[in-house]
Structure 1
Amino acid sequence: MTSPRRWTLRTENTGYTVRLSPDGPWAELDAWGPLGVEDGPSALDWSRRTHFITPADAAPAEYLPYGLRPFAGADLVASRPGEERGVWWDFEAVEEAAGSLRLAFADDVIGLRAVLCYSTVPGTDVILRWTELTCTGDRELRLERIDSAGVTVPVSGPARLTYLTGQWSQEFQHTQLDLPRGTFTMGSQQAVPGHAYAPWLAVQDGASEAAYGVALEWSGNWHMTAEAEPGGAVRVRAGRVPHEGAVFLAPGETLTTPRLACAFSPDGLDGLSRVWHRYERHLAGERLRRPRKVLYNSWEATGFDVDAAGQLELAKVAADIGAELFVVDDGWFPGRADDTGGLGDWYPDPAAFPQGFGRFVEEVRALGLDFGLWVEPEAVSPNSRLYAEHPEWVYRIDGRPARLVRNQLLLDLGRTDVQDFVIATLDRLLTEHAVSYLKWDMNRPPTERGRPGADHADHLDLDAQHVAGYLRVLDHLRAAHPHVTVEGCAGGGGRIEHATLARTDVVWPSDNTAPLDRLSIQYGFLHAHAPHVMSSWVTDAPGVFDPRPRSLAFRFVNAMCGVLGIGADLRAWTGEQRAEAARWIARYKDVRDVVHHADVRLLGTPADPTFGVQYDDPAAGRTVVAALSTGRLDGAPLVPGRPERLRLRGLDPRARYHDAESGSTYSGAHLLHYGLPFAWSADHDADLVVLTRQ
């Protein structure tokens, strides 16, 4: 902390310096980068000559309201109902402590106090930012825009934006855009982050390897906007988006925006990914000490056709090949022969389990397997008993038809009584039976999003209420059932962000399990999220977007890049396939601590003939490399050629590394300069190499 009007927050490797602007009552970014970057003239300083814009529009502002910043994009738009929009605040106070900073600004005319909040995260290079808005007057305030923060990145040329795009079954596609000038925006209005975009963005200066990243911690509607401004900077704004278009703040009431995590790495996108991985290990806390067990899920083998005998047959084979957990997916409750019924009536189907569900669970556990269940607690089928008893619990607009999506409706989880019902339901399932794994799914967004009978004078904020209800239930699960592993899913990767990751153990990136499709999904996912949260299955699914077949080895090595699961119909596998699966599962158990806790480096891209993921655990002296052949093998081995090689990174060039499987020993310099050799063939398209430092 260097002066009364300039403050520096320091993480393990980075510094973030904020100052009060000499040009007006706002905070602006002075420096952000490696430790010591604040010592020298600010790269964000500007000439202070403005034409047709105001100084506030030209400034690298941390947070400014419409009024002070009328042209270049405001982070806050506020008014008193019926009056003109605009806030003109003055600096009020500063509070600083180790690792935290709070800057307060106030507009006494409109009656608003805004506190810009900063906090470092111990053991990481992440700085959290959010804003607290308080109505200090005697009349309510109308807030049309309530962003969490503004983040400025200096660039010397076109900025390169990296973001994650897609659709259902094609989530987390690594996408890049050069933005020399103009505005880029993305977001979701689906009450979840959605499949189209992840609330994550990286910005790079084309002339530098340095990478800046932001990620929004919010499970509902959101936006993220990057603007390449005239003065040679990119400014990113991010925040939640109210469903009703505005939020009303009553006198004395405070609204706290979602947290925006901000990260920096001098080592490009690869280094930035390691910053995010470390942060997500911090979010997991003590739960990270618990190994993620090898899972078998019955969905792709049986679909809705669930019965005790068929499930036990699968469980026995799963136990034989080394699985540690058996999960019964959709179809275990009454009325669920297909997707037209059953949701909401969360009781085991007596017809499917004629000797009792408890007996079935005991038989699964007697095989040495933990037991898990799939649920979709926010959904309800129109022909369910729950809907007959509580039609008012679903989102609906009075006088309008309730549209079905996937033959179901969505419960209004913003209601306390609905939250209490979901909590009671999950408590019953988790206490009456020895369930140690819960897969929480959510397969439809709200369409007609209203609350029947509600008084609109109460100024509903349905999106924020649903998020609060969702998080309340997850917080209850964590407190009341700490032994239960919780998997987050929303039709695949539709609700993956830091609020969910802080309360779950793993997430399901996509419903698409085809090998090459999944490789592309996981490549994007690992840029933003850590391997210990990435649930990945070995299945029999053919490619949806890339139909090239891949071996069982490829499918296992690919799935071992995160948390290994199996979803194939094991009954149809040959004895040879089962034996091979058992060998891969045993190898995974040997390396999963490295995969889930180590530093990750992505070696190339899925578009390359050979792609790899490198996991380094310097303390244990182990490096694990998952190598996958994605390319064509025309003419091999008839045409002379050399093995493919993956150049590793981050190793000690003077050390020696031994591969016990092949008996080979390499110098670090060799692995860095030439790389690991792989002689691919039609029958050999993947490998897992474990290197031990000697």
Structure 2
Amino acid sequence: MTLALGGATLTVGPGIGLSGWPGLAGTAPLFQLICDGDCIDGSSVQPAGMPGQQRQHDRHQVSVPLRHASGLAITVHLASYAGGALLESWLEVRNTGDAVRRISRIDSFVADLDRAAPLVSWFTGAWGLEFEPQQARLRSDEHWIAQSRSGRSSHGDQPWCAIDGGPGVLAVAVAWSGNWAIRLEPHATTHRLSAGIHDWAFFVDLAPGEQFEAPAVVIAGAPDLNAASQAFADAGRRHWYPHSPLADRLPVEWNHWWSYEDKTLDDAVFRENAVAAARLGIEVCTLDAGWFGPGGDATGWYARRGDWDLVDAGRFPAGIRAVSDAVHALGMAFGLWCEIEGLGTAARLAVAQPELVARRDAAPLGYVCLGSQAGRDWAFATLDRLITSYRCDWIKLDFNLDPGAGCNRTDHGHGAGDGLYRHYRGYYALLDVIRARHPHVVLENCSSGGLRIDLGIARHTHMAFQSDPDWPEHSLSLFWGGTTLLAPEALLHWGFCEWAHTQHRCQTFDPGDPALTPTRLDYYTRISMLRRFGFSQRLPNLPAWVAQRYAQHIAAYRQHVRRLMPHSTVRRLDPQPLREGRGCRWAGIHYAHATSGEHLLAVFRLPGGEPTRHYRLHGIVRDQMYRLTWLADDRHQLLPGAVLADGLQFTEIAEEGSALILIEPLAS
């Protein structure tokens, strides 16, 4: 039996294989797993019924039931998106036998490349070093692996890679927030690709009748990296990303953290900033860590995580609801930080409810195990109470530790080898039920900045916070890397922040610095405006000219940028800018609206950038007249499409200078 799937052909029985996908050779074995030490893949199974098919807009899913002599029933799910440019693969495995079966490895996608000596690009990730690019051209006998074994998807390597070396690019992503692996191993004259949940410290024992669903792997075949990135973005927008009225508005946010942390924060400080935020046009005020706990001691917020029922009365004598009400009275939404998974060493919760604690070999791991029903029930009740009692519109969900291999308690409803897997399935379920119960609430994904960014959690939260640091070249590098996997509106980063208490050699921004110029301030601010953006600064202390300029940028973002962003293709016009003066020293970003014919061009000249840069734009109609408006600047220009299509030359942008240009077609 053969089935068309996108531009590929799925062949079923005996065995299962996929052919005709760009970048892949012949008929792929599609999947593999290790059961009781034996390898089972697409060549060793038999059909177990007719495939099911579902179609929704540009999504076509085929579900193929298979059986194996071991007694495992395996359902292979394949879904094509975006006119066949994107393919998603995942497995369900059920034990139909009468004995326990142990699965110790499961790759949701396996295929052979159609090219020798592939060029592989990927990113590593660490705190303040997210999306650091790596590249290698593999010899025919060379093994390669990208992976995370930290327990957080992007602390280690980012769960994505791009494979070049022939016509087009093959991009691969694991849609999972825990440990994962993408491997390229020598096979015949090329390399075999396999991807899925990591087999390190993992196994699942399936009792008779039990079922396991493996995380999905998504691949994109495209002419170039921009096109592959757009395929991921299109599928996310149409099928994966959650929505809510506030989230869809892409509101501008202020968060208290870097300017005050838990050192100088109190009720009066927060309210004073909220008043200033409202004047600037900011729409969300978020209370970060420092609001909870008993107060009055030097223990600190990190050790108190878990005691979300306690409010620091010394800082907030009227309570958090009073702060929320004050923000709402100013016409803004109220956000609250909560590390619902985290469990500090001084938290009362660990003593009062020891059954919630994730442990490995009896040692506490510092988090609540959501693989247990008790953990999920507690987490839901806690978040539900916080949202309801404090009238929260936005929850910033953080996770500031590496769970490693995860919990191996066997009294939690999971086994000794699948605790981390069950934790993340439980976390996803928690996020879904919170969104169902509170559909107006925005859920922000944060994990020590950007150490848990992946296509798994992107289906359950509204955005991913990209990194704690935000100095300009770092932020540009993050945007470049982040948009290989996610649409810009699925990313959040703040403008260059004012770090008042934590020392970082690159976080030197001082809005009161006499040497600060409008050109540099624009450069700092526009970088964050490429995606969801906000501020973490002492707003009441801003010099008047800085506050006025921020208000102009916020107005431009609200009127134009966020209107275009979710409906536009995005093209990175330069190679990735890198930290420490490395990489490309210009950054051009081009948004092209899908239907209106409007374009938005952002241009940045980094320190060390050559004096001139030429950018050619895609999608310009040559016989159309266009109006160019430099946003937040008093500059306009009319250009024929024939001139604009040949590109724009930038010769007057200074180092640490920028331009944000709206390009509109004029009615004929």
Q: TM-score, normalised by structure 1?
A: 0.84
- The residue aligned with 2:276 is 317
Q: Would you say 1:596 and 2:566 are equivalent positions?
A: yes
Which residue identity is paired with 2:15?
W
- C-alpha change, 1:228 and 1:622, in structure 2 (3 Å) is farther
Which residue identity is paired with 2:330?
L
Which residue identity is paired with 2:255?
N
Q: Deviations over 1:553-586 (max 9, x none)?
A: 1121100100011112223321111111111111
Which residue identity is paired with 1:364?
V
Q: Would you say 1:381 and 2:362 are equivalent positions?
A: no
- C-alpha change, 1:631 and 1:539, in structure 2 (3 Å) is closer
Structure 1 position 339, deviation (Å): 4.0
Aligned-partner Cα distance in 2 for 1:311–1:572: 13
- C-alpha change, 1:170 and 1:142, in structure 2 (3 Å) is same
- The residue aligned with 1:269 is 225
Q: Would you say 1:344 and 2:306 are equivalent positions?
A: yes
- C-alpha change, 1:654 and 1:158, in structure 2 (3 Å) is farther
1:175 corresponds, among 113, 123, 134, to: 134
- C-alpha change, 1:675 and 1:544, in structure 2 (3 Å) is farther
2:102 corresponds, among 142, 145, 151, to: 142
Matches within 5 A, 1:292-691: 292-305=250-263, 306-335=265-294, 338-346=300-308, 347-397=310-360, 401-402=363-364, 409-446=366-403, 449-450=406-407, 454=411, 459=416, 461-540=418-497, 551-591=520-560, 592-605=562-575, 606=577, 607-632=583-608, 643-661=612-630, 662-681=635-654, 685-691=657-663
1:221 corresponds, among 179, 182, 187, to: 179
Structure 1 position 654, deviation (Å): 3.5
* 3-state SS of 1:691 partner: strand
- C-alpha change, 1:456 and 1:435, in structure 2 (3 Å) is closer
Identity of aligned residues (%): 26
- C-alpha change, 1:244 and 1:279, in structure 2 (3 Å) is same
- C-alpha change, 1:20 and 1:424, in structure 2 (3 Å) is closer
* 3-state SS of 1:216 partner: strand
Q: Would you say 1:27 and 2:16 are equivalent positions?
A: yes
Identify unmatched segments of 5+ residues in structure 1. 35-42, 46-58, 64-74, 404-408, 635-641
Aligned-partner Cα distance in 1 for 2:303–2:126: 26
Aligned-partner Cα distance in 2 for 1:482–1:227: 45
Structure 1 position 227, deviation (Å): 2.8
Tell which structure's C-alpha radius of gyration is larger.
Answer: 1
Asked whether the equivalents of residues 242 and 464 of structure 1 are also in contact (C-alpha less than 8 Å), the reply is no
Q: Deviations over 1:494-516 (max 9, x none)?
A: 22222211111111111121111
* Mean Cα deviation higher: 505-514 or 450-459: 450-459
* 3-state SS of 2:425 partner: helix
* 3-state SS of 2:122 partner: strand
Give structure 1 regions of 4+ aligned residues with deviation exceeding 6 angstroms.
84-88, 545-550
* 3-state SS of 1:540 partner: coil
Asked whether the equivalents of residues 612 and 627 of structure 1 are also in contact (C-alpha less than 8 Å), the reply is yes
Which residue identity is paired with 1:617?
H
Structure 1 position 493, deviation (Å): 1.4
- C-alpha change, 1:146 and 1:583, in structure 2 (3 Å) is same
Q: Would you say 1:61 and 2:32 are equivalent positions?
A: no
* Mean Cα deviation higher: 125-134 or 280-289: 280-289
Aligned-partner Cα distance in 1 for 2:408–2:187: 41
Backbone CA RMSD of aligned residues = 2.8
- C-alpha change, 1:478 and 1:203, in structure 2 (3 Å) is same
- C-alpha change, 1:546 and 1:665, in structure 2 (3 Å) is farther
Which residue identity is paired with 2:446?
C
Aligned-partner Cα distance in 1 for 2:353–2:126: 33
Which residue identity is paired with 1:613?
I
- C-alpha change, 1:126 and 1:501, in structure 2 (3 Å) is same
- The residue aligned with 1:7 is 3
- C-alpha change, 1:357 and 1:158, in structure 2 (3 Å) is same
- The residue aligned with 2:512 is none
* 3-state SS of 1:314 partner: helix
* 3-state SS of 2:182 partner: strand
Which residue identity is paired with 1:692?
E
Asked whether the equivalents of residues 498 and 508 of structure 2 are also in contact (C-alpha less than 8 Å), the reply is no
Asked whether the equivalents of residues 612 and 649 of structure 2 are also in contact (C-alpha less than 8 Å), the reply is no
* 3-state SS of 1:32 partner: coil
Asked whether the equivalents of residues 516 and 546 of structure 1 are also in contact (C-alpha less than 8 Å), the reply is no
Aligned-partner Cα distance in 2 for 1:458–1:609: 50
Aligned-partner Cα distance in 2 for 1:456–1:285: 28
Asked whether the equivalents of residues 149 and 156 of structure 2 are also in contact (C-alpha less than 8 Å), the reply is no
Which residue identity is paired with 1:227?
E
Q: Deviations over 1:20-69 (max 9, x none)?
A: 58xxx4323320149xxxxxxxx834xxxxxxxxxxxxx63223xxxxxx
- The residue aligned with 2:25 is 44
* 3-state SS of 2:584 partner: coil
Aligned length: 628
